[in-house]
Amino acid sequence: MKLSSMMPWRMTLLPLLAVGSLTTGCHVQDQPNYQIAPWINHMVFSSAAESQAESEFLPGGRTLQTPPEGTIPRGFTPLHYKGHKEEAKQAGEELQNPFMPKKYRAKPKAEDVARGKWGYTTFCVPCHGVEGKGDGPVSQRGMPGFPIHAGGPTEYKDGHIFHIISYGRGMMGSYASQISQDDRWKIILYVRELQKAARGGR
């Protein structure tokens, strides 16, 4: 057999062998790198035909139990306020920013301020503007702007601003479902930086 007649057969076989050797050495990982709510994979849910799955160990024979009164969902810190201005002032007196050091003239951590800047840029700039002057793109299209370093906001305590972000004020809606409580506090850290810059660094 001539060498030239063997070439097409070898050219077909070699790529197949190469692919085979690569795939046999692969290992498919069963578990993801990160799981959200991993306990949910082990919960027993009732079917449409049953109100609850049966259990011989739990009260009433039900697998899914009603949470005890007064319990708090995991990762959720309740706020015992309403959306009124009076309660915003009350929050200002009662709530302390957990990311603001309690030592006199101590500065917050740079990474917390940076996170606050991210939150402010993402959620607040459209109305309040990059520097907090109330000149964001929304205000440039007919909506009234609201500066954060003039008038009331400069006198509001951190808890007061936290209440406004959480419950809304006037034309500003609540951001409680979009911004975590930690990030709300960190945004306030950055708001303080903007207010300080507007005063010439004082």
The confidence score (pLDDT) of residue 54 equals 73
The confidence score (pLDDT) of residue 15 equals 63
Band of residue 53 on the pLDDT scale cut at 50, 70, 90: low
Q: How many CB atoms lie within 10 A of CB 37?
A: 8
Q: Torsion over CA of 127, 129, 132 and 134, rounded to 10 degrees?
A: -50
Q: What percent of the chain is predicted at pLDDT more than 70?
A: 73
For residue 112, give every residue at least 6 positions away whose Cβ sits within 8 Å of its Cβ, in sequence order, or none. Answer: 99, 186, 189
Whether the model pTM is above 0.85: no
3-state secondary structure of 102: coil
Please give the Cα distance from 201 to 39 (Å, whole number): 49
Is 25 a member of any domain?
no
Q: What is the CATH number of the domain that holds 140?
A: 1.10.760.10
Is 151 a member of any domain?
yes
What's the structural domain count of the chain? 1
Is 30 a member of any domain?
no
The confidence score (pLDDT) of residue 25 equals 47
3-state secondary structure of 185: helix
Q: Is 116 exposed, middle or buried (0-12, 13-18, 19+ CB in 10 A)?
A: buried
Is 150 a member of any domain?
yes
Per residue in 65-97, pLDDT (tens digit) is 777 888 877 777 888 898 888 999 999 999 999
The answer to whether 176 and 157 are in contact (CB under 8 A) is no
The confidence score (pLDDT) of residue 21 equals 53
3-state secondary structure of 62: strand
What's the mean pLDDT when you consider all of the chain?
Answer: 79
Give the range of the structural domain holding residue 169, as residue numbers without chain letter: 85-198
Is 162 a member of any domain?
yes
The answer to whether 127 and 145 are in contact (CB under 8 A) is yes
Is 49 a member of any domain?
no
Q: How many CB atoms lie within 10 A of CB 24?
A: 7
For residue 113, give every residue at least 6 positions away whose Cβ sits within 8 Å of its Cβ, in sequence order, or none. Answer: 186, 189, 190, 193
For residue 163, give every residue at least 6 positions away whose Cβ sits within 8 Å of its Cβ, in sequence order, or none. Answer: 79, 81, 87, 88, 91, 92, 95
The confidence score (pLDDT) of residue 140 equals 82
Is 187 a member of any domain?
yes
